[in-house]
Structure 1
């Protein structure tokens, strides 16, 4: 029926009217126009905006709004311009391998639903705010470098002129930064390849 702006997300919303007259919002896929018919089911045509189980999606297909647990709703690739590549089922047939936007390769249950295509509003990345006021209106506060602070305020602060940090980089509480913070070991078995990360020297693996 139409596309709408949502201040709480980068993607736009599309208003759908079902055959029984019920109306619902979905995240607007790229290329979908007003008047298009979208279908959701276990196995439907591979067209942008259609939703189906990942086990029935051909390898190499671009998808978004992928579930993590069947029936719990979309978790992955919901922001503007995001896309996931389906790489095919694993040997057991219980899972399907997907490639995340971060480069991570992981497994999801074969019965999880996914929407065909890319999330719309892909040009959001190119928008320039232009001035600090627009950023403040969005609720974002300034980020001050630790080296620009006094020594009493941050471990990187103080010194004569532009001094070096000296030693391992730390946050404001003195904890080492650059270390991996993932602690959900229950789902480690679903990750085949970690996402691309810039590992800081001397940081804990």
Structure 2
């Protein structure tokens, strides 16, 4: 979204994404320019939203009495649909369309109903002073540059995960093909195939090409750890580990 005040013309459906999109208009001289953004939940036609990508405008500083108090600034800027750099967002605010680079596009929380939470500014830490801590929907906490932009609110169409496709044909339109269990195939078609009954021959779960599928095949080297990850997202546990944890809890 270009810097400045925009008017929401209408909310539209986008067949290429799960969230809705908003058509914006901005007057520049004698010309009206149009652009699209991912709509925030609750955004309606006729509303005014603003982008602060290029910083705080002079009219807003004068309106606040030539002060740059963070609390007063947040009351004027942190409204759903507004685009702000992360360092202008107060901790605890829900944001989406979070960028990864200063002038780059949004990378995190772009699908329907998703959001991230700004949880810290690292002002007391010299090493990470230029970064803001953001907690993603998965539970992962990341260091993201403070000049990266985000949109205030939650991505629209929050009930998307409750939709019912209704028939197998609609799944095929979405590119979802039928899934067949490996144990139901012939031995020549899958490593789990063949034999009598539903047995996979006491073998660890593998893909049709023989690669371990349940946490056994690691793809990231230990030397290539992402240093921007403060807290990794919770990983799925095996049935055995879940059962052991449940028994320990009941004791």
Equivalent residues in 2 for 1:79-98, closer than 5 Å: 79-90=111-122, 91-92=125-126, 93-98=129-134
Displacement of 1:162 after TM fit?
Answer: 1.6
Inter-partner Cα distance in structure 2 for 1:155 and 1:117: 47
Which residue number in structure 2 is paired with residue 193 of structure 1?
231
Which residue number in structure 2 is paired with residue 107 of structure 1?
143
Which residue number in structure 1 is paired with residue 219 of structure 2?
181
> What is the DSSP-based 3-state SS (H/G/I as helix, E as strand, rest coil) of the residue aligned with 1:69?
coil
Q: Is the 8 A contact 2:193 2:200 kept in 1?
A: no
Inter-partner Cα distance in structure 1 for 2:105 and 2:25: 19
Which residue number in structure 2 is paired with residue 24 of structure 1?
35
Inter-partner Cα distance in structure 2 for 1:62 and 1:3: 21
- Does 2:182 match 1:150? no
Question: With structure 2 as the length reference, what TM-score do the two structures score?
Answer: 0.75
The structure with the largest alpha-carbon Rg is 2
Question: With structure 1 as the length reference, what TM-score do the two structures score?
Answer: 0.92
Q: Which moved more, 1:132-141 or 1:180-189?
A: 180-189
More helix by share: 2
Question: Over residues 134-185 of structure 1, what are the superposed CA-to-partner deviations in whole Å (9 max), with x where a residue is unaligned?
Answer: 1012221112111121111111111211224513211111011123434697
Q: Is the 8 A contact 1:86 1:99 kept in 2?
A: yes
> What is the DSSP-based 3-state SS (H/G/I as helix, E as strand, rest coil) of the residue aligned with 1:188?
coil
The 4+ residue runs of structure 1 with deviation greater than 2 A are: 178-187, 199-202
Q: Which moved more, 1:155-164 or 1:60-69?
A: 155-164
Gaps of 5+ in 2: 1-8, 57-75, 241-251
Inter-partner Cα distance in structure 2 for 1:11 and 1:145: 32
Inter-partner Cα distance in structure 2 for 1:104 and 1:142: 32
> What is the DSSP-based 3-state SS (H/G/I as helix, E as strand, rest coil) of the residue aligned with 2:195?
coil
Distance 1:35 1:79, change over 3 A: same
Which residue number in structure 1 is paired with residue 99 of structure 2?
67
Distance 1:185 1:83, change over 3 A: farther
Aligned length: 202
Displacement of 1:50 after TM fit?
Answer: 0.4
Partner of residue 169 from structure 1, selected from 205, 224, 232: 205
Inter-partner Cα distance in structure 1 for 2:78 and 2:211: 48
Q: Is the 8 A contact 1:62 1:86 kept in 2?
A: yes
Equivalent residues in 2 for 1:2-81, closer than 5 Å: 2-20=10-28, 21-41=32-52, 42-43=55-56, 45-81=77-113
Q: Is the 8 A contact 1:178 1:199 kept in 2?
A: no
Which residue number in structure 2 is paired with residue 137 of structure 1?
173
